[in-house]
Structure 1
Amino acid sequence: MEHLQKTAAVVEDLVKINNDRVEGYNKARLQTDDLDLKELFETMIADSKQNTTELNKYLRSLGEERERDTTFAGKLYRTWMDVKVTFGGGDRRAILATCEYGEDAAQKSYNTALDQDFLPPEVRTIISDQRIKLRSAHDKIRYLRDLETANKG
């Protein structure tokens, strides 16, 4: 029983991380006029919503309620994003750098989750598959950020 509660807590945290991503990318989408970034951010939002749906399905299989909240750290991150972009003037590189910071946090959360030895194989597979997709998103954001740095340098 204790392992089920611990597993549910880990999955709930990952749902919150994905909810943070949705809110963060919604803010980022509103901060830019670049259509390619708006499209990319919409894809990231859709991916996080899919992750949340998958994780919440697993929570329901454990008899838990759906998680809809975000993390306190995520709220702080989005506030920082607002401040940074305001002072950066909505600069493409600043937006991408802030998004990369959020992606780093998501990777850390997924890595921490996978370090838990009590996770059942089925949820470990879900988390691992999502981490791979999130890593790809992280790398795309970092590539675009680096491209902006090179173009301005």
Structure 2
Amino acid sequence: MNNASHTVEVLNDLVNINNDRINGYEKATKKIGDGHEDLKAIFTRIIGESHHNKMALGTEIQTFRKDIEDTNTTSGDLHRTWLSVKAFFTSDNEKSVLEECETGEDAIKKAYTTAIEDEELPAYVKDILSEQQQKILASHNEIKALRDAA
């Protein structure tokens, strides 16, 4: 695989995990129910963050004259399935929703770390990913703090 194809593949993977993050937070927003408007606002902001990430990644993919593969990852599908199963067996309390959100945040953190450590990616792409990763880490820490306080 040539370097351009590899870069596009990595970027598409990150688009997909951002899709998973969006879907996870949309589910969390519905699951948390009424009376948690503060959490819904945070979830909505994080959804917007992932949409912004996807747009920036898509712009880079298009510079390689490739199309964005806008799907969901298998690991993300498993996470969403677990969120649905857990909702069936447990209450929709704030702490359990935040625990699931943190699990998703851990997954996206790992995906970005792996991509940034990829020696085949161009430096300018790593810079873009590092900038996105900083926002992801801040969101992760916010979710973790809310979980710990719940």
- TM-score calculated relative to the size of structure 2: 0.96
- The 4+ residue runs of structure 1 with deviation greater than 6 A are none
Listed one character per residue, the Cα deviations across residues 23-48 of structure 1 (whole Å, up to 9, x for unaligned) are: 00000000012111111110010000
5+ residue gaps, structure 2: none
- Note the aligned Cα RMSD (angstroms): 1.0
After TM superposition, give the deviation of residue 67 of structure 1 in Å.
2.4
Q: Given that residues 114 and 128 in structure 1 are in contact (C-alpha distance below 8 angstroms), is that contact kept between their aligned partners in structure 2?
A: yes
Q: Pick from 73, 79, 82: which aligns with 1:80?
A: 82
Equivalence for 1:94: 96
Following the alignment from structure 2 to structure 1, what is the Cα–Cα distance between the partners of residues 31 and 140? 19
Partner of 2:66: helix, strand, or coil?
coil
Q: Given that residues 85 and 91 in structure 1 are in contact (C-alpha distance below 8 angstroms), is that contact kept between their aligned partners in structure 2?
A: no
Amino acid at match of 1:105: A
Listed one character per residue, the Cα deviations across residues 45-94 of structure 1 (whole Å, up to 9, x for unaligned) are: 00000000000010001111022101011111011011112322111000
Amino acid at match of 1:73: S
Equivalence for 1:28: 28
Amino acid at match of 2:91: G
After TM superposition, give the deviation of residue 115 of structure 1 in Å.
1.1
Amino acid at match of 1:46: G
Listed one character per residue, the Cα deviations across residues 92-146 of structure 1 (whole Å, up to 9, x for unaligned) are: 0000000000000000000100111111121111100011100000000000000
Q: Pick from 55, 58, 65: which aligns with 1:56?
A: 58
Equivalence for 2:141: 139
Following the alignment from structure 1 to structure 2, what is the Cα–Cα distance between the partners of residues 108 and 6? 18
Following the alignment from structure 2 to structure 1, what is the Cα–Cα distance between the partners of residues 3 and 68? 19
Partner of 2:56: helix, strand, or coil?
helix
1:2 aligns with 2:2: yes
Equivalence for 1:151: none
Following the alignment from structure 2 to structure 1, what is the Cα–Cα distance between the partners of residues 14 and 92? 29
Equivalence for 1:124: 126
Amino acid at match of 1:47: E
Partner of 1:134: helix, strand, or coil?
helix
- Percent identity, aligned pairs only, is 39
5+ residue gaps, structure 1: 149-153
After TM superposition, give the deviation of residue 20 of structure 1 in Å.
0.4
